[in-house]
Amino acid sequence: MGAAQRGWLVAVLALAAAQRSILAAPPRNEDVAIYVLSTAKDAWVNSTYTEELHWIRQRAMPALRTWGRGFSVVYFVVEAAFAQTAGGRACDAVAENVLRCPRLGGASFLLANCTAEYRGSGPCCKCDAGLAHAARGSASWAAFADDDVYFDVAALGAALAPLSPAEPLVAVPDFSRRRPPFKASKACLRGMKHSFWAQPAILSRGALDRALPAFDAGGVEAECALFDVSHEGGLGVLLWSLGVEPVGMREPDSFIRDARRVPGLVLSNPPPPPNRTKRNVFFTRKPLAAMNFRPIAIHRAGRGKAGYPTFFEIEAAIAAADARNALPNMALARRTDPAWLRPPPTGPYAPFAPGDCNPDSGRVSHES
């Protein structure tokens, strides 16, 4: 057996071990409800074959079989048109706008009156719908995330434990981006620098209660349109404008923004060897030297592309690192001087526009 064949066999065996869940499943977290941005669209797999419900089958179902097992409440937020597809008609209506689908791994889908595009209005609308649904639920915390995010139930539970869900808080990646994904005045940038990238975002019960009128009014979608961003920017602006305090998932210990950086991955679909004679060189993130803490969240997982790990491969890598040397959990970063934090609004909800950052707008007086 050649080296390439041996490497392939090792990868397949590691993947099979993770899929069989040879390690005992952790206790299910009942305090955090997870809402995952998804879509019921089909996709071309190659030039001749279209896979029905591609994103659900390739991302939602593997997520549910790995990290999703650790949470009691996981919803995949899809456009309402899903109910009229063949897959949707095979599901059971268990609540208003909620389908549970035995043929799709038992996944629960929240139907939203939104469009199906990848960026822009559709995801922003689904963010409003998901978090409005969470605000009417009973969970102490609710997360909204893309479908390529991997959550670690143990790390997330430990990070949230010291915090009071009654306070208006949101856990977001800490300094994972150096600049906001939009243009705004310096007054806006100073205030939003800790919360503008709200993906994934884990909101406390206090934050959900405060933001419910905004979610019902389509607040995330409104901010997306005003600042010309998708849901991660729109949600960040909205929560900041409502005076919700961001607490940070520090990168890379608590948040790994590129799953290709996870140490110890054994890939079943490795990247091609670099060919620097070509103009477009295949880019691979340099893996981290070690995993020093259990990461709360890992982005860009399960993308189905060469070089990107599956959810099962990430689960196996974390389990292997923890078996070698028990991984500690890392606390969320809370600011000691929140002078930049906006006070909560006193009147009815109104969208926050870029012009409201100006000193004469009366809405950001202490930031100007």
Asked if the structure places residue 68 within a domain, the reply is: yes
Q: Identify whether the C-beta of residue 172 lies closer than 8 Å to the C-beta of residue 249.
A: yes
Give the CA distances from residue 215 to residues 62, 209, 331, in Å, rounded to whole numbers and listed in that order. 29, 10, 29
Residue 353 lies in a domain: yes
CA distance 242 to 245: 9
**Residue 146: inside a domain:** yes
- pLDDT level of residue 366 (50, 70, 90 thresholds): very low
Q: Kind of pairing, strands 141-145 and 107-112? A: unpaired
| Domain of residue 83, residue span | 29-269+287-367
Q: In what order do the strands lie in the sheet with 150-151?
A: 150-151, 297-298, 255-256
- Angle at which helix 205-216 crosses helix 219-227, to 10 degrees, equals 70
161 in any annotated domain: yes
Q: What are the tens digits of pLDDT across the range 267-320?
A: 999 988 766 655 555 555 688 989 999 999 999 999 988 899 999 999 999 999
pLDDT digits (tens, 9 = 90+) for 321-339: 999 999 999 999 887 666 6
Is 354's pLDDT higher than 70?
yes
Q: Closest Cα partner for 32 from 83, 89, 74, 91?
A: 74
How far apart (Å, rounded) are the C-alpha atoms in residues 256 and 251? 6
> Does residue 61 form part of some domain?
yes
Question: Which 8-state DSSP code applies to residue 311?
Answer: H
Average pLDDT of the chain to the nearest whole number: 86
Residue 30 has pLDDT above 50, yes or no: yes
Measured CA distances, 229 to 122, 172, 208 (Å): 12, 17, 22
Inside any domain, residue 1: no
Residue 101, domain CATH = 3.90.550
Q: Are 165 and 150 in contact (CB under 8 A)?
A: no
Tokens of 22: 């040879």
pLDDT per position as a tens digit, 171-182: 999 864 555 556
Q: Which residue has the higher pLDDT, 218 or 4?
A: 218
Pick from 306, 197, 317, 213: nearest CA to 251:
197
* Residues 166 and 205 sit within 8 Å (Cβ to Cβ): yes
pLDDT of residue 367: 36
Give the number of other Cβ atoms within 10 Å of residue 215's Cβ: 24
User: Nearest-CA neighbor of 310 among 67, 43, 125, 103?
Assistant: 67
Rg (CA), the chain: 21
Can you tell me the distance from the alpha carbon of 207 to that of 141, in angstroms, rounded to the nearest whole number?
9
Specify the pLDDT at position 191. Answer: 62
- Our count of domains for the chain comes to 1
Integer CA distances (angstroms), 266 to 20, 269, 282, in order? 16, 9, 19
More confident residue, 179 or 114: 114
Percentage of the residues of the chain whose pLDDT score is greater than 70: 80
- Residue 67 belongs to some domain of the structure: yes
Q: Residue 321: inside a domain, yes or no?
A: yes
d(CA 227, CA 68): 33
- The SS3 call for residue 271 is coil
The 3 state secondary structure assigned to 318-361 is: HHHHHHHCCCCCCCCECCCCCCCCCCCCCCCCCCCCHHHHCHHH
CB burial of residue 53 (10 Å; 0-12, 13-18, 19+): buried
Asked if residues 287 and 321 have their Cβ atoms less than 8 Å apart, the reply is no
CB 330 within 8 A of CB 293: yes
pLDDT of residue 195: 62
